[in-house]
């Protein structure tokens, strides 16, 4: 995609602070971080969402996520954990329409909050939704 900012980064048209790169994947620091050391991991090929990403490339992206997260845990001062965040479509918070994963370092009392109000589901409702989804899994 000509207008995709991540595709421009992959092509070297826009600079980035690279952390990791192989034939299929690029990881770099986010310029609008949720915390210090917040990284992005993207496939080099353009895919809008996770559902578009071929399994072979997803495997390579997943390995890169694990490498970046592990390095973050040992390299950055005071990091006690991390979140992996991935959003699909605007309604879910996806800003750049190129599939990407956030690796967000966490510190105790860092004031980041990815919590949601927990609901309560009845077993019959769970069974209903399970049947709807199971019937569409390929």
Report the 10 Å Cβ neighbour count for 31.
Answer: 11
- Sign of the alpha-carbon dihedral angle for 41, 43, 47, 49: negative
Delineate the domains of the chain, giving CATH numbers in brackets: 5-134 (3.30.428.10)
> What local confidence, expressed as pLDDT, does residue 1 receive?
65
Which of 98, 100, 102, 107 is catalytic? The answer is: 100
* Structure confidence by residue, pLDDT tens digits, 19-48: 999 999 999 999 999 999 999 999 999 999
The H or E element spanning position 58 is helix 55-75
Known catalytic residue at 100: yes
Please identify every stretch of the chain with a pLDDT value under 70, giving residue numbers as ranges.
1
């Amino acid at each position: 995609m000509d207008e995709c900012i991540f595709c421009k980064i992959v092509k070297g048209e826009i600079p980035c602070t690279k952390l990791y790169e192989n034939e299929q994947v690029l990881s770099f620091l986010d310029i609008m971080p949720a915390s210090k050391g917040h990284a992005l991991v993207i496939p080099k090929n353009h895919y809008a969402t996770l559902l578009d990403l071929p399994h072979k490339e997803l495997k390579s992206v997943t390995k890169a996520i694990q490498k970046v997260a592990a390095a973050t845990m040992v390299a950055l001062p005071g990091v006690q954990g991390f979140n992996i965040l991935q959003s699909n479509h605007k309604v879910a918070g996806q800003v750049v329409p190129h599939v990407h994963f956030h690796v967000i370092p966490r510190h105790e009392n860092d004031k980041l909050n990815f919590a949601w109000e927990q609901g309560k589901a009845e077993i019959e409702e769970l069974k209903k939704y399970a049947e709807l989804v199971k019937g569409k899994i390929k």
